[in-house]
C-alpha cells in the first residue's frame, strides 16, 4: 500500500502519477480506521475542507493514491463531522475530522480496508445537494443496509444534537421526534447503531432472518409502526411526518410507494455509481420527472443525491 512501490496489481509504478493525483484534491490523513460490524468499517479522516462545510446528505469522492486499480474514486456519504479544539477564543472550533462508514463489497472497499492509520487518501467534497427538509414534527429516517451513513447527521441536526455546514449556514428547523427504521439482512450488520441511539433517535430494526427486531423488510417495519389500529390517520401524517430514505434502489422504491400511498412526503438519497462526482461524466444519471410528468436524466452527483421520491422514475 505504500506510495511509489509497484509490485502488486493496481499499484502505480514509482514516479508515474495516477489521473487524479496531480489535481488539487485534498490529501486526507486517516486518523482512525476500525471495524464496527460484519463487513463494515468506520474511517476517520483529517479533512478540514470537507468537515467544516458538509451538511447532512452530502458526500465525498474518495480514492487511494498511487493506485490505478480501482482507477476511479468512489462516493462515500459524510457520516459525521467533529470539531477539534483549535478555534480562536470566541470562535466556533474548526470542524476538522469527517467520519465515513463503508461496507466491503468490491475493489475499492476491499483495498481501502487494508490502508492503515497514518496513511493518506485523496478526497474531494463535500459534494451533492444534501437534505433540504421542511419543518416537520416527526422525522422518520429509513435506512437499508449501509444507507444509514447518509442519515445520522440529519437526525442529530434535527434533534439539536449537532450543527453542520459553514458558519454562515442558517440552521434548519428542529423536529420534536426522530425515528430510524433500519433494515438489514441480519443482526451483525447494524454498524453505528449506538450513534443513533446516543443522539436520542428512536431506532427500530428489521432483519430478513429475524435475528434482530422485526423479521421482514423495512416496509414491514413501517407497516408495524404506522399502520396499526389506532395509529395517527394518514391525513395528519401529511403535515407532521417526513421520511428521509437511503438504501438499495428496490428498497427505496418500495418505501417511496409506501409513503406516496399515505400522502407522506419522502426524500430519497440515491446510491448511483459515480465516476467524477462533479458533473462531468454523466455516469450517475437517474430518471427524474419534472412538473409536467415527463422524465429526463439528472446527474445524481450535482442535482442529487437527494431527490423528492415522487419525482424518481424507478
Note whether 149 binds ligand FAD by CB under 6 A: yes
For the CB of residue 59, give the shortest distance to ligand FAD in the complex, in Å. Answer: 4
Cα–Cα distance between 295 and 312 in angstroms, integer? 8
93-132 positions binding ligand FAD, by CB under 6 A: 100-103, 105-109
> Cell numbers at residue 249, please?
434502489
149 SS3 class: helix
Looking at 133, 184, 206, 274, which residue binds ligand FAD (CB under 6 A)? 274
Note whether 203 binds ligand FES by CB under 6 A: no
DSSP letter at 150 equals G
- From 158, 130, 134, 151, select the one nearest 242 (Cα to Cα): 134
Cα–Cα distance between 244 and 16 in angstroms, integer? 43
Note whether 146 binds ligand FAD by CB under 6 A: yes
Letters for 48-67 (x = contact with ligand FAD by CB under 6 A, - = none) are -----------x--------
- Omega of the bond leading into 114 within 30 degrees of 0 (cis): no
Cα–Cα distance between 231 and 236 in angstroms, integer? 10
**For ligand FAD, the closer CB: 74 or 237:** 74
Note whether 284 binds ligand FES by CB under 6 A: yes
- From 152, 126, 129, 128, select the one nearest 139 (Cα to Cα): 152
For the CB of residue 88, give the shortest distance to ligand FAD in the complex, in Å. Answer: 32
Q: Which residues bind ligand FAD (CB under 6 A)?
A: 59, 70, 74-77, 100-103, 105-109, 145-146, 149, 248, 271-272, 274, 305
Residues near ligand FES (CB under 6 A) are: 274-277, 279-284, 299, 301
Amino acid at each position: 500500500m505504500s506510495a511509489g512501490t509497484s509490485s502488486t496489481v493496481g499499484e502505480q509504478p514509482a514516479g508515474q502519477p495516477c489521473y487524479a493525483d496531480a489535481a488539487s484534491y485534498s490529501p486526507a490523513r486517516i486518523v482512525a480506521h476500525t471495524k464496527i460490524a460484519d463487513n463494515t468499517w468506520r474511517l476517520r479522516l483529517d479533512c478540514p475542507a470537507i468537515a467544516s462545510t458538509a451538511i447532512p446528505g452530502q458526500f465525498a469522492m474518495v480514492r487511494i493514491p498511487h493506485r490505478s486499480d480501482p482507477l476511479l474514486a468512489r462516493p462515500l456519504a459524510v457520516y459525521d463531522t467533529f470539531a477539534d479544539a483549535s478555534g480562536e477564543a470566541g470562535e466556533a472550533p474548526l470542524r476538522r475530522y469527517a467520519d465515513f462508514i463503508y461496507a466491503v463489497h468490491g475493489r475499492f472497499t476491499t483495498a481501502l480496508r487494508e490502508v492503515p492509520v497514518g496513511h493518506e487518501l485523496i478526497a474531494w467534497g463535500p459534494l451533492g445537494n444534501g437534505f433540504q427538509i421542511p419543518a416537520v414534527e416527526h422525522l422518520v429516517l429509513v435506512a437499508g443496509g449501509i444507507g444509514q451513513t447518509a442519515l445520522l447527521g440529519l437526525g442529530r441536526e434535527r434533534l439539536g444534537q449537532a450543527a453542520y455546514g459553514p458558519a454562515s449556514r442558517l440552521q434548519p428547523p428542529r423536529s420534536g421526534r426522530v425515528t430510524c427504521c433500519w433494515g438489514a439482512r441480519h443482526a451483525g450488520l447494524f454498524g453505528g447503531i449506538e450513534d443513533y441511539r446516543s443522539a436520542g433517535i428512536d431506532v427500530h430494526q428489521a432483519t430478513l432472518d429475524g435475528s434482530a427486531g422485526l423479521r421482514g423488510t423495512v416496509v414491514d417495519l413501517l407497516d408495524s409502526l404506522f399502520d396499526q389500529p389506532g395509529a395517527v390517520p394518514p391525513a395528519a401524517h401529511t403535515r407532521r411526518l417526513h421520511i428521509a430514505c437511503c438504501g438499495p434502489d428496490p428498497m427505496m422504491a418500495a418505501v417511496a410507494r409506501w409513503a406516496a400511498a399515505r400522502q407522506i412526503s419522502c426524500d430519497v438519497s440515491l446510491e448511483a455509481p459515480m465516476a467524477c462526482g462533479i458533473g462531468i461524466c454523466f455516469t450517475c444519471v437517474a430518471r427524474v420527472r419534472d412538473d409536467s410528468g415527463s422524465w429526463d436524466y439528472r446527474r445524481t452527483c450535482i442535482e442529487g443525491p437527494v431527490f423528492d421520491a415522487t419525482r424518481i422514475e424507478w
